[in-house]
Amino acid sequence: KTGSKIKMVFTEKQEALVKESWEILKEISQKIACVSSPLLEIAPAAKGMFSFLRDSDGIPQNNPKLKAHAVKVFKMTCESAIQLREKGKVTVADTTLKYLGSVHLKNGVLDPHFEVVKEALLRAIKEAVGEKWRDMNCTWVEAYDQLAAAIKAEMKEEA
């Protein structure tokens, strides 16, 4: 499932930047909230997918569960970036992938939503890391893309 990905080797500088930005983001946890509201601004349809948001009015600015999802996505993307560096590809454990495939399928998540989450995630990282962004943006993009591709492939298999 994850075998057909482009092999990509990161420099140690890039890996260090990824780890460093993880630290930065842990500290500035408030920034992570930025991931969730742009998501709902860009794609109001995504709101209906989150059971805990369905009945709320407008765009929730600081929903803790949505924030928790953003943190999970960020953490997994971070791990993926490190795997890319170490193994040249993203490998998600089979059980995790199966679980994530079914959760997202069940909630009606579609391919275009992954692009929306990607945009929101990258925007938040960019905001948090400032000028370092230029040196590492392709690392994040590649890591997210491979992770999302693995989940999407699993969703298609289960559908």
Instruction: List interacting residues with ligand HEM (CB under 6 A).
Output: 46, 49-51, 69, 72-73, 76, 100, 103-104, 107, 109, 113-114, 117, 147-148, 151
Smallest gap, in angstroms, from Cβ of residue 130 to ligand HEM?
24
Nearer to ligand HEM, 11 or 62 (CB): 62
Smallest gap, in angstroms, from Cβ of residue 8 to ligand HEM?
17
Smallest gap, in angstroms, from Cβ of residue 113 to ligand HEM?
4
DSSP string across the chain: --TTSPP----HHHHHHHHHHHHHHHH-HHHHHHHHHHHHHH-GGGGGGSTTTTTS-S--SS-HHHHHHHHHHHHHHHHHHHHHHHHSS----HHHHHHHHHHHHHTT--HHHHHHHHHHHHHHHHHHHGGGHHHHHHHHHHHHHHHHHHHHHHHHHH-
Nearer to ligand HEM, 17 or 92 (CB): 92
Smallest gap, in angstroms, from Cβ of residue 35 to ligand HEM?
11
* Pairwise CA distance, residues 104 & 150, whole Å: 12
For helices 29-42 and 111-129, the axis angle rounded to 10 degrees is: 140
Smallest gap, in angstroms, from Cβ of residue 158 to ligand HEM?
15
Nearer to ligand HEM, 32 or 76 (CB): 76
Nearer to ligand HEM, 93 or 131 (CB): 93
Nearer to ligand HEM, 72 or 87 (CB): 72
